[in-house]
Copies of this chain bind each other. A is one copy, B any other.
Amino acid sequence: MIRGCQLIGDRDSQQGTETFHTLAPASGERLPGCFHEATGDEVNTALELAEAHADTLRFLSILERARLVELIGDSVERSRHQIEERCLLETGYPSERVGMEFERMIHLWKVFANEVRLGHSLDARIDHSDPDRQPMPKPDLRSMRVAVGSVVVFGASNFPLALSVGGSDVISALGAGCPVVVKGHPSHPGTSELLGRAVLRGIQDAGLPSGIFSLIQGRAHEVGLALAKHPFTRAVGFTGSLRGGRALMDAASSRPDPIPVYAEMGSVNPQFVFPEILTADAEGFAKQLFASVTMGNGQFCTCPGVIVVPDGADCDAFVRAYQKIISNSGAMPFLNPGIAEAYEAGVADWRTSCQAKLHRSPQRSGPVLAEVSWEMFLAHRKALLEEVFGPSTVLIRCPNPDAFLEAAKMLPGQLGASIHGTKDELTSVAKPLLAALQRFAGRIVINGFPTGIETAYAMQHGGPYPATSDPLHTSLGLAALARWARPVCFQNVPEELLPDALKEANPLGIRRLVEGEWSEATRSEL
């Protein structure tokens, strides 16, 4: 079933002579499967195929697009057993974690299918003409979102299901009407291939050309850059490291025709803890923090990597409690040796360069709390505020809650940030901090951690650089669809030539902005 090849539309392709394999993170053993590195030719063929079918998908009705998304979800669900089995081997995640992520992925196909069917993401708008307006007649103006064209998606290492070949970027791009070429993450090529085949079967079930989807695999950076640089690529979706994301941003912005890269990258998701929370229950707080930090073995984009706590006895109690939990924690293998090495190097640097006091579990690569004084933080803030991907948290002991504002000023863009406090603390002193967080964070959580992301309308999984490449967009939540389609205005276009979404009679029955008012009614009913 796993052949180790590129899936270029319905064709298995094995042009490349270079191959790679994967190791089981849990045991370090080599996993079955020999994967071929994609060649430049294969990249080109995939994008030519995508381009050839771009119009098919672009002009497909929302009902058919919704059906496509739904049928792919069904197809992926039918392969659950196989996919989960391989995913467990390739990630070393607990089986409960893999099961939950699988369900999350299936849920995504369903909710996006529904959202596409509702037509909200078309953002249909109508401003009627006024031929009698002075000094000039007002034209009839209508606009809707039209798919941008072929999209390249880079699978994430840490979410091999919900943020990879069958994940949010792929689902939202197909749902918006864009062909997709996925670059599978080399940590889980087997999972990627199984998912890719399931996606292709779903496309077949929908009766659509398989060329709207391809899966390219490889470890070489050149493959990724070739995908981002290809003239037919119209946009890029990426979830991963700052280094990887920035390389793609630079490649895309230096094209003869720059294209957008929607990259979700580094974030330390700072947690500001008012003292009374710890006075009340330092141990309970430590437990909750630990649960959040170690989700997915610490490999979550929204992992709380920085915690700012006023110095004192409450802080000491918290550190003792956290240290105790850490020392009793079990093994947490990393997804791949590269992540493990970067983690160890980053943690070591905190100790040697920033004089951080490390609390960690006996086993290598386990959770770490790196404690620094306020003075050390001020002296080494750049290094201490950089993400070290994994279950690591920097504890900044600040003189008092007033210093929260000072710390907040130093933070670069973040996906998330939290304030923890009692009801009294929140109402009496947290307001200026809440304002400060709005300068740099995409999501602000009160008395909770940023891990755990709803697929809701109000979800924002984004933030200023370096959290993402474009803070106006989100890669998770229903607004993720907005990245893949651009507004096109139709001026004085006769009814019979208008797309269905903009026809006066509203045959799709979708919500539209008519003269600035939301309306599902047709004009005759108004």
A residues with a Cβ closer than 8 A to B are 54-55, 58-59, 118, 120, 125-127, 136, 138-139, 141-143, 146, 148-149, 234, 249-250, 253-254, 257-260, 412-413, 423, 426-427, 430-431, 434-435, 438-439, 441-448, 450, 452, 454, 456-460, 462, 464-466, 469-472, 474, 478-479, 482-483, 486-494, 496-497, 511, 513, 515-516, 518
Contact = CB atoms under 8 A, between A and B. Distances in A.
Given A55-B435, A439-B149, A488-B442, A458 B127 contact: yes
Contacts of A487: 442, 460, 462, 472, 474, 479
B260 A249 contact: no
A439 B234 CA distance: 11
A128 B136 CA distance: 46
Contacts of A260: 470, 472
Contacts of A465: 257-259
A490 B447 CA distance: 12
Contacts of A513: 457-458
Given A149-B439, A439-B149, A491-B443, A448 B139 contact: yes
Contact of A489 (B249, B254, B444): B444
Nearest to A486: B471
A497 B428 CA distance: 10
A179 to B, nearest CB: 13
A59 B435 contact: yes
5 contacts: A58-B439, A139-B454, A249-B258, A444-B489, A445-B491
Contacts of A444: 488-491, 493
Contacts of A496: 427
A497 B431 contact: yes
Interface centre among A149, A443, A445, A456 (most CB of B within 10 A): A456
B430 A497 contact: yes
Contacts of A426: 494, 497
Contact of A458 (B58, B143, B460): B143
B518 A466 contact: no
B125 A488 contact: no
Nearest to A456: B127
Contacts of A492: 445-448
A438 B491 contact: no
Contact of A446 (B58, B439, B493, B518): B493
Contacts of A486: 442, 462, 464, 471-472
A263 to B, nearest CB: 10
B257 A253 contact: no
Nearest to A496: B427
Given A443-B491, A460-B488, A466 B257 contact: yes
B136 A452 contact: yes
Nearest to A515: B457
A251 to B, nearest CB: 11
Contacts of A457: 125, 127, 143, 513, 515-516
A235 B276 CA distance: 39
Contacts of A257: 412-413, 464-466
A133 to B, nearest CB: 10
A261 to B, nearest CB: 10
Contacts of A259: 465
A448 B482 contact: no
Nearest to A484: B472
A478 B483 CA distance: 19
Given A427-B496, A518-B518, 4 more contacts: A443-B490, A457-B515, A462-B487, A464-B486
Contacts of A491: 443-446, 448, 450
Interface centre among A138, A234, A457 (most CB of B within 10 A): A457
A490 B478 CA distance: 16
A256 B118 CA distance: 40
A470 B392 CA distance: 37
